[in-house]
Structure 1
């Protein structure tokens, strides 16, 4: 592995802390607003996620705030002074302004360090969709691929990473404007579970509805089985404190799909604040989203 190359990911990737603690990986905290205080979300280490989701089940509403330009400048400048090259995989610009602040930080730093080698990638992805890209990028780093090879790969593959979500509680989607108040109320009464995806603009879009939780989980697996290639491949799954259902989704994918590796992790508050407890998401590569 090239010692001067750093892969940076933010906590909107929902990667486990074990990934971030590997050599040449750097994590960046995003922010969640809890009970009037700003709490940094550092990959599940700064907040009890069981407590977080239990509170959401009891009606607690949380908000998030983007990382400002100064924080990016501070993080990037330390790496520049250490002589590092950086690839930062940022949370979709269709969901957050954070990555745009990273671009602004680089422009500011280039006035002071014109030869700095920092590449910011708007992944147009979220949660373990970013995690999917990060895992692939890190494997390339371990194989001593060049920075340009890794960046080109990420840019070419990012719009092939499919994101399929379902949620257990429609009211958090109502809060975010994804469904109307009427749809949330009626959907709850009829046990309607929406299937959503992230489109090519990196925005979360409702696709269709399933009746009941089990049916919605089967629909996630069905999308993978129908859209994925014939080659054995990586899939990633994230969940809002519903690990057993995440494992069930993995089993469904393995039963009829070509799964080489599956990585499962809980969503942190950056994404979980907007989706609520019980969210379940599946990520995999196909010819297109």
Structure 2
């Protein structure tokens, strides 16, 4: 059940507002969270040899990585069309929603957000707020989850957006990519000098730059073990400087055993921190490739 939020208009008249939360499939939210908070998830598509699969609907993560290993060419991804999104927003309006907050993957790695902002200007039967998460994967899912929780609790659009800004600004991450070729071919790596890693077997450490919000390589070392230690150094600094509890996240690209081991190690080091496990699904896996690992952190929205 969605509890309408109370919104005070300029005329001073109290009006009940229903706020819907939309995100895309790269949020990799567990189904129980989607159901609990009534989040609408739109699938992004992966295209192998002209055959299209909707992420997590037509293609599971394990099936994707099997196809990726055999594919002669790098698959592509396709965002939902503007027409599809307009139809979705129209459907939500007909269901009685007054506002939709649509939270999507970083505009620096996809044109989806900018396309949606253009689409929003064509809609007059519902207020559409398009929110650039500046990130993707479960970190973006956390933003959608918190927004939906607040909408159910009766918070206003302004309160929700302000909270999302606080959480978004607290995000940090370190990706360790086993093979750079997918990122380079897909044009998703900003400082392409890191390509040297594919020749020298150097493991690059990637992050979303805080200013440009683009994926950049911030360091590189010669082994996965050393790369993980470098990533942990970055996390350690974040934990020491944080003025609020941080929630930790470990992600893997079709290597759950490696992800679980890393999560266990971090749990021993930070036993009081909430630590979640997630994964790089098909759409993000297209760019990172098999074997990638990451640790990430965000202000713990359940504690502060």
Shorter-chain TM-score tier: 0.7 to 0.9
SS in 1 for 2:183: helix
Q: 1:96 to 1:182 in 2, by over 3 A?
A: closer
Cα shift readout 1:94-131 (whole Å, capped 9, x = no counterpart): 11001111111211012xx2xx2321101111112212
Q: 1:181 to 1:53 in 2, by over 3 A?
A: same
Residue 139 of structure 1, CA deviation: 4.1
Aligned to 2:213: 202
Aligned to 1:86: 100
Aligned to 2:156: 146
Aligned to 2:278: 265
Q: 1:196 to 1:182 in 2, by over 3 A?
A: closer
Q: 1:174 to 1:58 in 2, by over 3 A?
A: same
Residue 184 of structure 1, CA deviation: 4.3
Q: 1:99 to 1:255 in 2, by over 3 A?
A: same
Indicate if the aligned counterparts of 1:231 and 1:258 stay in contact, CA closer than 8 A.
Answer: no
Which of 43, 46, 67 is matched with 1:29 structurally? 43
SS in 2 for 1:208: strand
Q: Which runs of 5+ in 2 are unaligned?
A: 5-17, 300-304
1:54 aligned onto 2:66? yes
The TM-score with structure 2 as length reference comes to: 0.82
The TM-score with structure 1 as length reference comes to: 0.86
Aligned length: 277
Residue 75 of structure 1, CA deviation: 0.8
Q: 1:137 to 1:259 in 2, by over 3 A?
A: farther
Q: Distance in 2 between matches of 1:262 and 1:142?
A: 25
Q: Distance in 2 between matches of 1:270 and 1:231?
A: 32
Aligned to 2:52: 38
Aligned to 1:219: 230
Larger radius of gyration: 2
Aligned to 2:291: 278
Residue 17 of structure 1, CA deviation: 2.9
Aligned to 1:237: 250
RMSD, aligned CA: 2.3
